[in-house]
Amino acid sequence: MKRPPGLKIIRNFFHQDEINHILSQTEFVNNSKMELFRLFGEFGGKEAQPPQEWMIDYGRKVFQHHDFFSEVPNQYRVCDWIGELSSNFKWHIDNKRHGKKILVVTLSSKRMIGFRCDAGSDIFKIELSSGDAYLISGSSRWSWEHCVLPSGKEKSGGKSFIMSYRKQKK
């Protein structure tokens, strides 16, 4: 199975101390409502909380050291793909609300992501370790369906921290 166009995999993108720092933040420690996604920043009218300073700090770091985004990310998502939550998020093609590119940083080991051309096609699978990241743009976002593939005994998809930049409408 070929890799979807527009998919970039970055191994060891974050170091273990950065991962530990992110996972120690209230947004990851406290998920009492068992929400799959929690949104922070500008999502074009969709309800979101203001981004936390630690999120913006990581966004600045990514912007300064990589050419992923044209500006510092203004959208942040913390995701808990734990147990039942993992099965609630189905195969999908992204919407335009999240800008042209999305950077997903994996915070759990053995996280499996799948891509497919259509519902009947073979699945291109990527196993990611804690600290790995993937950037999706172009066809991998707009033409290929993708999803987190729950794995392991708990059928978990693990945790992730997602950044994107969406140009503001004036």
The closest of 41, 62, 46 to 95, measured between CA atoms, is 46
Beta pairing partners, 77: 39, 162
- How does pLDDT run across 84-120, given as a tens digit for each residue? 666 667 888 887 777 889 999 999 888 889 999 988 8
Which pLDDT does position 2 carry in this prediction?
84
Q: Where are the domains of the chain?
A: 7-164
155-121-129 Cα angle (round to 5):
40
Copy the structure tokens of residue 58. Answer: 């990581």
pLDDT at 84: 63
CATH number of 7-164: 2.60.120.590
Average confidence (pLDDT) over 140-161: 81
Looking at per-residue pLDDT, the higher value among 148 and 54 belongs to 54
The whole-number average pLDDT for the span 116-127 is 90
Give yes or no for residue 55 having a pLDDT over 90.
yes
Cα 10 from Cα 8, distance rounded (Å): 7
Whether 170 shows a pLDDT value over 60: the answer reads no
pLDDT classification of 155: cutoffs 50, 70, 90: low
- Across the chain, what does the average pLDDT equal? 87
Q: What does the DSSP 8-state code read for residue 92?
A: B
DSSP symbol at 98: G
Share of the chain above pLDDT 70, in %: 91
Q: What is residue 96's predicted lDDT score, i.e. its pLDDT? A: 74
Q: What is the pTM of this model?
A: 0.92
Whole-number pLDDT of residue 86: 64
